[in-house]
Amino acid sequence: MKLNFLLKILLFTVLINNVMADDHADKLDKIVNEYNHLGMFSGNVLVAKDGNIVYEKQFGYADWEKKTPVTTETLFRIGSLNKVFTHTMIKQLEKENKLSIEDPLSKYLDLYPKETGDKITIKMLIEMKAGLGDYLNDPAFNQNRGKFKTVNDFLEIIKDEPLLFEPGAGQEYSNSGYVVLGGIIEKVTGKSYTDNLKERLITPLGLNNTYYLLIGETVPNMANGTRITFSGDKMNSPFMEQPSPAGGMFSNAHDLLKLDQYLRQTGLLSLGIRAGGTPVWNSVFAQMKEGYTVIINSNFGQVADEIIMRFEDAVNGKDYPKPDVTMEMKMYDILKSGGIGKLESSLKQILEAHGMLYNDRHLNFFGYELMNDSKLDEAIEVFKLNAKLFPGEPNVWDSLAEAYMNKGNNELAIANYKKVLELAPNNPNAKKMLEKLGVK
């Protein structure tokens, strides 16, 4: 008995040493702990080599108000990682000779006039080159998010969204395009998107912890999305958005690892780093060279993206930006201490430190966070700065107009909604808001 016990201890020690000896695991562990010490990470982190887990740790709480710890069973909302599932099912159907990614959209769905549908291919939808935009920005969606329960519910508004450019002439991140791919899957198979998910991926791969949940539906072990206030406090933020073929399922690291192994064995999708998230969720699914897979699920927004960016630098022998508090917390500190001018002069440096592109989206999100925190005057200043820096983007003027309308300054709201229409004459939200404000 004593010998067996000693052998078990020895074997356990060897296993632990092997795990900690993995270079990728050591590098990731260091980065995640840097974020954890700042109070900026909550979630699950996993590294696998050739499908075998060499590192897995949990941090923070699945529910920060109840102090329920994250475990290996905790489910996270994986955002746009739904797109991996949708893309995989399209490739399955192509392998079964039920479609070709070179087929035109018009062969399956009549969302647009035939001339337009003939120009859009399935491949363009996959690569986000079809000209479709994002239903998340569609007022018809935002005014009643709860009603969108089926793919067809989404398609009913997507068909009325104007194309952003001639199909094939550009590239723009498109949630609407992936919903259309879900519609193609339904048309080809004669089954719902969710039935296809179950029959093609969830059941055969044993993804017993992956769920396509509508608002109000719950299962055990669900984490709560968590909003970090400007002061660093953590508050539960329940999800109030229906899932779609573009995003919104719940899953955990072990299920995503099963999907990883299926994709590596079948070669249906190329290796790469994919991410999904919302302001209160963030997941990364990284299929890397040499058989490595990194999965990060967090119930904080953006942090998984920041970690994987630093991890890539670390494994390539590069120095990475020092982890910091959230970008919004940093911007708020600068805004309060140095004013809008200091924020303007610091913006590029802040974005670079967080691995973000220099574009209008970050100040726009920051402005809405300020509005949500009842800091309307500061939000207006931020939106004005965004319009100054990115004057050719219709959305910056739309956000500024909304802030002025919330402030009760209808004159400036009207002026800014008119600016939106100067840049995007068919913008439906600007037209609708001008009508609401009494402008014909």
Do residue 196 and residue 295 come from a single domain?
yes
Are residue 227 and residue 358 in the same domain, yes or no? no
> What are the backbone angles phi and psi of residue 63, rounded to the nearest 5°?
-135, 110
Q: What tens digit of pLDDT does each residue of 102-154 get?
A: 999 999 999 999 999 999 999 999 999 999 999 988 878 888 888 999 999 99
CA 56 to chain centroid, in Å, comes to 22
Domain's final residue, options 303, 322, 341: 322
Domain count, the chain: 2
Do 242 and 163 share a structural domain? yes
Examine the domain organization and report whether 127 and 194 are in the same domain.
yes
> 129: which residues sit within 8 A by CB, 6+ positions away?
167, 168, 170, 171
Q: Which secondary structure element, helix H or strand E, spans residue 300, and what is its range?
A: none
The CATH number given to whatever domain includes residue 341 is 1.25.40.10
Q: Is residue 131 a contact partner of residue 120, using CB atoms and an 8 Å limit?
A: yes
The burial class, CB within 10 Å (0-12 / 13-18 / 19+), for 219 is exposed
Residue count (the chain): 440
Scan for tokens 């590294």, then name that residue: 47
| 14: in domain | no
pLDDT confidence of residue 186: 98
Instruction: Tell me the chain's radius of gyration from C-alpha atoms.
Output: 23
Helix (H) or strand (E) segment spanning residue 187: helix 175-189
If asked whether residues 177 and 307 sit together in one domain, one would say yes
Shared domain check, 135 and 100: yes
Assess whether 50 and 147 both reside in one domain. yes
Identify the domain boundary among 290, 322, 354.
Answer: 322
Helices within 56-174 (DSSP H only): 82-95, 114-119, 122-127, 139-142, 151-158
Assigned domain for 10 exists: no
Domain match, 230 and 355 both: no
> 331 and 315 in one domain?
no
Domain, as residue range, for 285:
22-322
In this structure, what CATH number is given to the domain that contains residue 204?
3.40.710.10
33 and 135 belong to one structural domain: yes
Within-domain flag for 359: yes
Contacts of residue 272, defined as CB under 8 A and 6 or more positions apart, other chains included, come to 286, 287
Q: How far is CA 77 from CA 46, 51, 62, 74, 192, in A?
A: 16, 23, 12, 10, 21
Q: What is the pTM of this model?
A: 0.82
Written as six digits, the tokens of 63 are 């529910």
Compute how many other C-beta atoms are within 10 angstroms of the C-beta atom of residue 266. 12
CA distances to 76, 130, 290, 381, 411 from 404, in Å = 36, 34, 53, 11, 8
d(Cα 62, Cα 223) in Å, to the nearest integer?
A: 4
Residue 5 lies inside a defined structural domain of this protein:
no
Burial grade of 103 (CB within 10 A; 0-12, 13-18, 19 or more): middle
Question: Do 175 and 152 have their domain in common?
Answer: yes
End-to-end CA gap in the chain? 88
**370 φ/ψ sector (left φ>0, alpha ψ -120 to 50, else beta):** alpha
**Which of 295, 322, 349 lies at the terminal end of a domain, its last residue?**
322
Residues 101/185, Cβ–Cβ less than 8 Å: no
DSSP string, 141-174: HHT-GGG--SHHHHHHHHTTSPPSSSTTS-----
Is 17 part of any domain? no
**Is residue 271 domain-shared with residue 411, that is, in the same domain?**
no
pLDDT one digit per residue (tens) for the chain, 440 residues = 444 444 444 444 334 333 435 889 999 999 999 999 999 999 999 999 999 999 999 999 999 999 999 999 999 999 999 999 999 999 999 999 999 999 999 999 999 999 999 999 999 999 999 999 999 888 788 888 889 999 999 999 999 998 999 999 999 999 999 999 999 999 999 999 999 999 999 999 999 999 999 999 999 999 999 988 888 889 998 877 899 999 999 999 999 999 999 999 999 999 999 999 888 999 999 999 999 999 999 999 889 999 999 999 999 999 998 898 888 889 999 999 999 999 999 999 988 877 778 999 899 989 998 998 899 999 999 999 999 999 999 999 999 999 999 999 999 999 999 999 999 898 888 898 999 999 97
